[in-house]
């Protein structure tokens, strides 16, 4: 089998996997939501509903993090410093790498 045939087989397998995933997404977009009489939602309505649920979960997580930072301010400051240092290091390495070229 040549390299081109191998690449073509891999591409066909990837396309088949994408078809399965798109079918699953389409089926998910038409799920039934409790509280609306068991009627399936349209795609965008279901998407907005899921987005709202994700936003609510995100708010709960953010509130929990804020509470922990209030309870342990020193650790929260150290974590913030560490994250800032990591971001700065990554940006500095990228800048130095770009300057060399």
pLDDT in tens, 63-81: 888 888 888 889 888 988 9
pTM for this predicted structure: 0.40
pLDDT (average), residues 24-40: 62
Domain ranges of the chain: 31-72
Per-residue CA distances from 36 to 13, 33, 41 (Å): 39, 6, 9
Model confidence at 98, pLDDT cuts 50, 70, 90, reads low
pLDDT given for residue 99 in this prediction: 60
């Amino acid at each position: 089998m040549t390299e081109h045939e191998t690449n073509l087989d891999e591409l066909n397998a990837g396309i088949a996997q994408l078809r399965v995933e798109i079918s699953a997404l389409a089926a998910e977009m038409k799920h039934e939501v409790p509280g609306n009489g068991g009627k399936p939602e349209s795609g965008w309505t279901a998407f907005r509903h899921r987005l709202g649920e994700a936003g609510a979960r995100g708010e709960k997580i953010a509130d929990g993090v804020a509470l922990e930072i209030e309870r342990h301010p020193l650790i929260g400051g150290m974590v913030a410093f560490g994250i800032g240092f990591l971001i700065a290091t990554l940006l500095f390495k990228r800048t130095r790498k770009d300057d060399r070229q």
